[in-house]
Amino acid sequence: MIDGLRPYPEMRPTGVPWLPETPRHWDVRRIKTLLTEVDNRSKTGKERLLSLRMRHGLVDHVAAGGRPIPPESLVGFKIVEAGQVVMNRMRAAAGLFGVADVRGLVSPDYAVFEPRPDAYNPYLLQAFRLPSLAALFRAESKGLGTGESGFLRLYTDRFGPIPVPYPPLDEQRLIERFLDWHGNRTAKLIRAKLEVLKLVAEEREALTHDVVSSPGTRQMRLANIVDHIFRSVDRESTKTYTPVGLFNRGRGIFRKPPTRGDDLGDSTFSWIEDGDLILSGQFAWEGAVALAGTDEADCISSHRYHILRGKEELVQTIYLSSLLRTSFGHLLLNEHSRGAAGRNRPLNIRTLLKEKIPVPPQSEQARLVELVTLEKRLAGSIANFADRLREYRNRLIADVVTGKLDVRTVATSLPEIIELEPIDDLVDGDDLDEAIDDEPENEEVAA
């Protein structure tokens, strides 16, 4: 069906540098003609506090893992009504916009907009996340610093005059219907492959239990059989480094974008080597545990991650990685992760290392090597497949939203999508640790 998409028959120049042409019947509108900023403040702080997340938009702050904030600390926060658009001024260039489903509160540093009658929120949010607009948002942002560690904000007086493509409203709805349909198909493709990975994980867990039950298994203190490693990175400001993050539920490691040393923030970092076992310092209790491979060698991890390696004469690191992803391992990590800040529960590595774990003979541990290696290779293959699908979808969205491809005929024949499958949840999982480092709303709430 996508192969049948064609360009619009007639185009016209727009005079807009980032959008050279659009279909002849489309308009180009300044954002301020579609959205009007509103600024209503809470007098009691008793309204529901909302957080703006990249993948899920505006969500309940506490339900999403944020720490409870007393009402007196929320007096003066901005009130957002259902249907209004919220922009994180500091991360507009990253596409951090959302539409409220319910009445609530957002950070006073955010901008809240009331859509005009001829604005269609779903289409506008797709447009605001275009790479070409992201570059313009960053260029128009003002403040101190540069890069990710800067404090640049996109203020409304510079956001409002920016031009965006504006198809007829009926066509905007058809565009959104097509993109929803494509998103659901993409999600189903990825989900099918993840089901295969789930079967391999179940087989690996069953084998781990069998290995643990073998004769000759001893109970040994973790601190006596592993090395807790930190290979300090002597950071150079102009050198580029590749940080890593962890998926939850034992789904592996992902590489963050390469970053200059002077843009890495205040964290200290450790070098990663092939064969390291990496535990999240915040979300180990959710299964954020992974074995590093050759792809992660020479990447870096922040001080909030813990790196362990088994002492070769006693325990294989591959065995440890599998054990910590069993029900026993989850119980152990949960027991040593304490805190009252929602999902952010720091791992107490000192008490964890005092625990005793079952250590089978080396010959039994070796039985896991092949299956763990297969699982890791399969997980990497699925991640690469999902990345390619996501890249293709991002290009497709850009072409459709800017009028390079005509989806009207195709979209008319598609059913309305009642329930969307979140693609990014399947592709990226929850970028849990990055959320703690980079989520400005948490810092603003605390202030």
Q: Is the pLDDT of residue 442 over 70?
A: no
Pick the CATH number of 27-166 from 3.90.220.20, 3.40.50.261, 3.20.20.120, 3.40.50.2000: 3.90.220.20
Length of the chain: 447
Mean pLDDT of 111-134: 96
Q: Where are the domains of the chain?
A: 27-166, 218-359
Confidence label for 418 from pLDDT (cuts 50, 70 and 90):
low
Alpha carbons 125 and 115: distance in angstroms, whole number: 12
Same fold, 27-166 and 218-359: yes
Pick the CATH number of 218-359 from 3.40.50.720, 1.10.3720.10, 1.10.490.10, 3.90.220.20: 3.90.220.20
User: Hey, what are 102's tokens?
Assistant: 């319910």
Query: 167: closest CA among 389, 401, 351?
Result: 401
Q: Is the pLDDT of residue 122 over 80?
A: yes
Sign of CA pseudo-dihedral 71, 73, 76, 82: negative
Query: By the 8 A CB rule, do 305 and 329 touch?
Result: no
Q: Which of 121-135, 228-242, 250-264, 277-291 has the lowest mean pLDDT?
A: 250-264
The percent of residues in the chain predicted with pLDDT above 90, rounded, is 72
Mean pLDDT of 388-405: 95
Mean pLDDT of 315-334: 94
Query: By the 8 A CB rule, do 82 and 101 touch?
Result: yes
pLDDT number for residue 441? 35
Q: Which amino acid is at 285?
A: W
Mean pLDDT of 141-157: 75
Rg (CA), the chain: 24
Q: What is the pLDDT of residues 24-40, one digit of tens each?
A: 999 999 999 999 999 99
pLDDT number for residue 443? 30
pLDDT number for residue 428? 40
Greatest extent of the chain over all pairs of C-alpha atoms, in Å: 78
319 or 434: which leads in pLDDT: 319
pLDDT number for residue 434? 36
Alpha carbons 78 and 221: distance in angstroms, whole number: 51
Q: Is the pLDDT of residue 386 over 80?
A: yes
Q: Is the pLDDT of residue 166 over 80?
A: yes
Q: Is the pLDDT of residue 290 over 70?
A: yes
Mean pLDDT of 427-440: 38
Q: Is the pLDDT of residue 277 over 90?
A: yes
Sign of CA pseudo-dihedral 348, 351, 353, 358: negative
Alpha carbon 72 to chain centroid, angstroms = 31
pLDDT number for residue 284? 92
What is the pLDDT of the chain when averaged over all its residues?
A: 88
Confidence label for 437 from pLDDT (cuts 50, 70 and 90):
very low
Q: Which of 67-76, 290-299, 429-438 has the lowest mean pLDDT?
A: 429-438
Query: By the 8 A CB rule, do 239 and 246 touch?
Result: no
pLDDT number for residue 444? 30
pLDDT number for residue 67? 81
Q: Name the 3-class secondary structure at 372.
A: helix
pLDDT number for residue 174? 96
65 or 168: which leads in pLDDT: 168
Enter the DSSP assignment of 153.
E
Q: What is the pLDDT of residues 199-226, one digit of tens each?
A: 999 999 999 999 999 999 999 999 999 9
pLDDT number for residue 64? 79
313 or 439: which leads in pLDDT: 313
Mean pLDDT of 135-159: 82
Confidence label for 63 from pLDDT (cuts 50, 70 and 90):
confident
3-state SS of 224-248?
Answer: HHEEEECCECCCCCCCEECEEEECC
